[in-house]
Amino acid sequence: MTPPPDPTAESLLAFWAEGGVDTMLLEEPVDRIAAGRITPPKPPATRAAAAPAQAAAPAPSRPTQPDVSAAVAEARALAAAADSLDALAEVIAGFDGCPLKFEGAATKAVVWRGEPDAPLMVIGEGPGGDEDRLGQPFVGRAGQLLDKMLGAAGLTGRVMITNTVFWRPPGNRTPTPTEQAVCAPFVERAISLVKPKILLLVGGASAKSMLKKDQGILSMRGRWHEWRSADGTAELPALPTLHPAFLLRQPPAKKQAWADLLTLTERLDRPDRPA
């Protein structure tokens, strides 16, 4: 007669089965701890002393701006010798001190267009693809918008238009301060030959370069500033405004640019004060 199953053993087997143990490897239980088969775990090995930290490598030096003092001095001497806009344009065309001439430009230097004795001088950032191809500043979509705005403000035929650099930057990028510094003597000489009453600085790169300020165009636009020549002998009122290329991307900003033009025309047409 088979003895009845032990309820305690059944409960124990059920417990192990629920825990996932479904196989017995030995018929008889073995006390492995007593048999020395299982040893207490060893304490974790201490990490070896960290190797002495290597001397910190010197931080890489920032790339220095190229020394363009010689190019600036040459540009200043050439500009001073030019006694007309035609002579100045010829000097600029033959000048090799600006790297843009050999990097982004496909054709000749892009100097200016407009009236040689204009009371208003518009100074943008740099020529783009259309300007490089046609050899005149502001003749692409942005230039066409600029002309429409100037015409609506009654300034047609009263403007000379140029840029802070005379060759197209690669990929139509913004000209660097170094590139602008090399061309600055030519821009300054053009101002002295045209003798405008007011400067309209179009875009942030133009305003920063001409006014020697680091503010963004949104904080500078619509407010009058003073442009000073490098030797401090000439001063002109200057009004920064938004670039027409920006207006093409952000049409609602045209309202701000139009307000700037109205401010400019009001001052431009103001009667000169008696001496």
Query: Hey, what amino acid is at 50?
Result: A
Alpha helical stretches, state H, 24-153 = 69-81, 85-94, 129-134, 141-152
* pLDDT tens sequence across 110-128: 999 999 999 999 999 999 9
Helix (H) or strand (E) holding 121: strand 120-124
Are 214 and 225 a contacting pair, CB within 8 Å? no
For residue 163, name the pLDDT band (cuts at 50, 70, 90).
Answer: very high
**Which position has the higher pLDDT, 108 or 26?**
108
Mean pLDDT for the chain overall: 86
**CA–CA separation, 147 and 138 (whole Å):** 9
Query: 114: which strand partners?
Result: 160
**pTM for the predicted model, two decimal places:** 0.75
End-to-end CA distance of the chain: 137
Q: Which of 150, 147, 127, 145 is nearest to 137 (CA)?
A: 127
Q: Which pLDDT score, from 0 to 100, does residue 106 have? A: 75
Band of residue 65 on the pLDDT scale cut at 50, 70, 90: low
Give the pLDDT mean for 188-211: 98
The C-alpha atoms of residue 250 and residue 245 are separated, in whole angstroms, by: 9
Q: Assess whether pLDDT exceeds 70 at residue 4.
A: no
Task: Give the per-residue pLDDT at 275.
Answer: 42
* pLDDT: which is higher, 148 or 31: 148
Q: Which domains does the chain have, with CATH numbers?
A: 69-268 (3.40.470.10)
pLDDT band at 193 (very low <50, low <70, confident <90, very high): very high
Which of 124, 114, 116 has its CA nearest to residue 151? 114
For residue 46, give both structure tokens. Answer: 């201490």
